[in-house]
Amino acid sequence: MEDLIGRGREAMSLFLGSDQARVDEVVTAIAWSIYQTENATRLAKQAVENTGLGNVRDKVTKNQRKTFGTLRDLLRVRTVGIIADDPQRGIVQYAKPVGVVAAITPSTNPVATPVNKAMMAVKGRNAVVIGPSPAGWPATATTVDLIRKELSRVDAPADLVQVLPAPVSKERTQKLMRAADLVVVTGSQNNVQSAYSSGTPAIGVGAGNVPVIIDSSADLARAAQKICASKTFDNSTSCSSENAIIVLDDVYDAAMEALVQAGGYRTDPSEKSQIEKHLWINGNLNPRLTARDSAVFARAVGLSGAAKEAQFFMVEESHFSADSRFADEKLSLVLTVYRARDLDDAIGIIQGVLGVQGRGHSCGIHTADPEHARRLAEKIDVVRVLVNQAHTFGNGGSFDNGLNFTLSMGCGTWGGNSISENLNYRHFINVTHLSTTVEEDRPSERDLFGSYWAKYGK
């Protein structure tokens, strides 16, 4: 571990004097190492072979889309020298590196997440050591090898990006966390808690369990198409994948028909029982069914012939119950459906779902009424509320919304996290504030206390 960190520090010292143009060139090299179709495809195939999670087609899309979008964001900001100058306040801000970053990454995204974090870390002139999951290590190691080759091609220190050597274990990952200057964790909440207790400054992200409302004014066909595309993308490996939808009563039947037309299968009570029996084993999700193709899932659960042709499976609940397993995150092509009397009832169901898991993460609504979206944002303690969007494609940044591209979504203190935004470059820089004197800004006592005195007296 000392060797890894030492090599990272040496690479940082060689890179520290780089100007913004050079830093951006090196970040672009990291992006290009995976964005190339040949590499994106090769790595997607290896990720699925190693982990059995997701599918190759969508992982190729994820590898390229997330990398492209993140590069767009990073090339638009400064992280070298003066990054802000406010003469009125007499404050000039200078960006500085945070140090060697331990980037802990999940088995669900053993390629896209490491590259995403490496780009952000190097943008801040840091070095990064990737700590992958054991299952994802081979794909992550290949990814890092490709990054290092591209760094060498542009004459940048290859040790700016390293990977924790195999065999990866909990103990070795914890040692990496303790040795680094900053820990950034995406993945299991066990890893997040380990990072917070490592003694090293840490940024963790919370668990997903996304609920989405379809209200009476929604374009039902478009909503259904977006939900299907989002739910089925990479076989629901994303923490932003819809896990529950809440449909208002007066459009329930029409919305369910639209979802069927989009590719959903409406399970009957016996099939619902079959899903529950097989999807959970001793209270835990069955790894043989999470993030699997729909046909594989249908056969394993014993669903009918029609179900085998569907893209995802809808389980209808007569009412919300925190004790139902279907209220939790499912990491599979199973979508829980609730029927709500009105918007207030739907908001109450969302609060219940997020109380089971996913508090702070996100929720969404399909609506033509902006006031409904605003009311949802006011009532629900989440970092992101998406309106008329395919959640998986919008939550981690999109080309048609203003969220930063990322694969790591902070959930605020609601989700036990230190950040309440998408992980981005700002989390990988320290800032020095140069303060000079300005014209005195001292209001009178009456300016500050006048209204209070008038109401309550002195």
What does the pLDDT read at residue 256?
A: 98
Strands 182-185 and 100-104 turn out to be parallel
What is the CATH number assigned to the segment(s) 2-205+423-434? 3.40.605.10
Q: Kindly tell me if the per-residue pLDDT of 304 is higher than 90.
A: no
What does the pLDDT read at residue 189?
A: 87
> pTM of the prediction?
0.94
| Distances from the Cα of 244 to the Cα of 57, 226, 329, 353, angstroms | 25, 14, 9, 8
Spans of all domains in the chain: 2-205+423-434, 210-406
Maximum Cα–Cα distance across the chain: 78
Q: Kindly tell me if the per-residue pLDDT of 35 is higher than 90.
A: yes
Gap between the terminal Cα atoms of the chain: 62
| Distances from the Cα of 56 to the Cα of 62, 333, 393, 433, angstroms | 10, 16, 17, 46
Task: Please state, rounded to an integer, the average pLDDT across all residues of the chain.
Answer: 96
What does the pLDDT read at residue 161?
A: 98
Kindly state the tokens that stand for 226: 């977006």
Mean pLDDT of 239-245: 96
| pLDDT tens digit sequence for 86-118 | 999 999 999 999 999 999 999 999 999 999 999
Are the C-beta atoms of residues 335 and 209 closer than 8 Å to each other? Answer: no
Kindly state the tokens that stand for 338: 């609730």
* 33 Cβ contact partners less than 8 Å away, ≥ 6 residues apart: 39, 115, 143, 146, 147, 149, 150
Mean pLDDT of 61-79: 98
Are the C-beta atoms of residues 198 and 177 closer than 8 Å to each other? Answer: yes
Give the span between the Cα atoms of 12 and 387, in whole angstroms. Answer: 42
Fold match between 2-205+423-434 and 210-406? no
- Catalytic annotation, residues: 239
Nearest Cα to 105, choosing from 136, 128, 74? 136
Per CATH, the architecture of 210-406 is what? Answer: 3-Layer(aba) Sandwich (3.40)
What does the pLDDT read at residue 445?
A: 96
